[in-house]
Amino acid sequence: AQSVTQLGSHVSVSEGALVLLRCNYSSSVPPYLFWYVQYPNQGLQLLLKYTTGATLVKGINGFEAEFKKSETSFHLTKPSAHMSDAAEYFCAVGKTSYDKVIFGPGTSLSVIP
Amino acid sequence: EPEVTQTPSHQVTQMGQEVILRCVPISNHLYFYWYRQILGQKVEFLVSFYNNEISEKSEIFDDQFSVERPDGSNFTLKIRSTKLEDSAMYFCASSAGTGHTGELFFGEGSRLTVL
């Protein structure tokens, strides 16, 4: 079975500071990994994904994540937080290109001016 | 840009009533999904659908739930007799399938409130 844990249900950063949202996964097969963002009262938008190949993946809005197999991690980072980054962030894991994804519990990011 | 659309955006119903939530997946996609998010909680998988049949379902997806693709474009989730605990945001998603990079595209969600 696959699962995802996200350390920290709530993270606060100052505007301009580094954003680091942690994600660890469990998977019996090479995983497909995703970060989704959910703005208030909106749907789920894909930030970035890892399927195969380069372990450092870049996404939209300046976010990137690095797949570390030895640590079973897929942490999300952004060098400089912006007020518009305040949202809920979900890490997710899948098994194939068409299988369901399993979501982590989410991390709520607040950006302090 | 192609997108998944869901209707209604918000539905209020009385306990015990039947509800149908509708989704129009991206036109060339082959795999369809429903997820649920109870307020303040995680996004939970309900069911996946491929080739006109359920390919996988979670333990949440009991006999009161059903899915259907009645025509070439719509994908529906029916809740037969709603309970208070069915109040949640329901997300539809679709995926292109094999040979693609495995991204699920989500709709904006349908908020169901059961009174």
Q: Do residues A72 and A66 make contact, with C-beta atoms less than 8 angstroms apart?
A: no
Other C-beta atoms lying within 10 Å of the C-beta of residue B108: 19
Chain B interface test: which of A38, A44, A60, A90 (most B C-beta within 10 Å): A44
Min Cα separation A82/chain B (Å) = 23
Min Cα separation A100/chain B (Å) = 7
Other C-beta atoms lying within 10 Å of the C-beta of residue B56: 14
Other C-beta atoms lying within 10 Å of the C-beta of residue B11: 17
Q: Do residues A22 and A104 make contact, with C-beta atoms less than 8 angstroms apart?
A: no
Positive or negative, the CA dihedral A20, A25, A30, A31 is negative
In tens, the pLDDT along A37-87 reads: 999 888 899 999 998 888 899 999 999 999 999 999 999 999 999 999 999
CA pair distance B44, B37, nearest whole angstrom: 6
Q: Do residues A37 and A48 make contact, with C-beta atoms less than 8 angstroms apart?
A: no
- The whole-number pLDDT of residue A52 equals 82
Q: Inter-chain contact A51–B43, Cβ cutoff 8 Å?
A: no
Min Cα separation A65/chain B (Å) = 16
In tens, the pLDDT along B48-62 reads: 999 899 999 999 999
> Which helix (H) or strand (E) is A93 found in, with range?
strand A87-94
Residue A112's nearest CA partner among A12, A35, A11, A1 is: A12
Rounded alpha-carbon distances, angstroms, from residue B85 to B36, B43, B114: 11, 15, 8
Q: Inter-chain contact B33–A45, Cβ cutoff 8 Å?
A: no
Which pLDDT band, with edges at 50, 70 and 90, does B100 fall under? low
Smallest Cβ–Cβ distance between B103 and the set A43, A49, A96 belongs to: A49
Residue A35's nearest CA partner among B103, B2, B34, B44 is: B103
Q: Inter-chain contact B103–A90, Cβ cutoff 8 Å?
A: no
Other C-beta atoms lying within 10 Å of the C-beta of residue B8: 13
Cα Rg of chain A (Å, integer)? 13
Q: Inter-chain contact B103–A34, Cβ cutoff 8 Å?
A: yes
- The whole-number pLDDT of residue B77 equals 98
More confident: B77 or A27: B77
Which pLDDT band, with edges at 50, 70 and 90, does B113 fall under? very high
